[in-house]
Amino acid sequence: MKTFDSAILTCAITGGVHTPSMSPHLPITPEEIASEAIAAARAGAAIIHLHARRPEQDDRHGAPDYRPATYRTALAAIRRETDAIINITSGGGLGFTEEQRLAAPIDLSPEITSFNLGCVNFGLFTMLKRSPEFRFEWERKFIAGTKDAAFVNTFGLMERVGAFGREHRVRFEYECFDVGHLYALKLIQDQGWLPEGPTFVQCVLGVPGGLGAEPENLVHMKETAERLFGGNFQMSALGAGRHQMRVVAVAASLGMHVRVGLEDSLGTERHVLSAGNAEQVMRARQILDALSIRLATPDEARRMLETKGADRVRF
| Cα 94 to Cα 15, 48, 91, 257, 288, distances in angstroms | 11, 21, 8, 26, 33
Strand partners, 85: 47
Mean pLDDT by 10 residues, the chain (315 residues): 92 96 97 98 98 96 97 97 98 93 98 97 87 87 93 97 98 98 98 97 96 98 97 96 96 98 92 95 98 98 98 98
Secondary structure class of 269 (helix, strand, coil)? strand
Question: Residue 66 and residue 53: Cα distance in Å, rounded?
Answer: 8
pLDDT at position 3 is: 83
- Letter for the amino acid at 233? F
Of the candidates 58, 8, 6, the one whose C-alpha atom is nearest the C-alpha of residue 28 is: 58
- pLDDT at position 312, please? 98
Chain segment 210-234, per-residue pLDDT in tens: 999 999 999 999 999 999 999 889 9
Question: Across the chain, what does the average pLDDT equal?
Answer: 96
List C-alpha distances in Å: 200 to 1, 46, 193, 279. 10, 14, 15, 25
Q: Given this model, what pLDDT does residue 131 score?
A: 66
Looking at domain 6-312, its CATH architecture is Alpha-Beta Barrel (3.20)
| 129 alpha carbon, distance to own chain's centre | 26
User: What residue spans define the domains of the chain?
Assistant: 6-312
d(CA 141, CA 147): 11
Whole-number pLDDT of residue 269: 80
Contacts 24+ apart (CB under 8 A), 213-219: 213/239, 213/240, 213/243, 213/246, 213/247, 215/246, 215/250, 218/247, 218/250, 218/251, 218/254, 219/254
pTM for this structure? 0.97
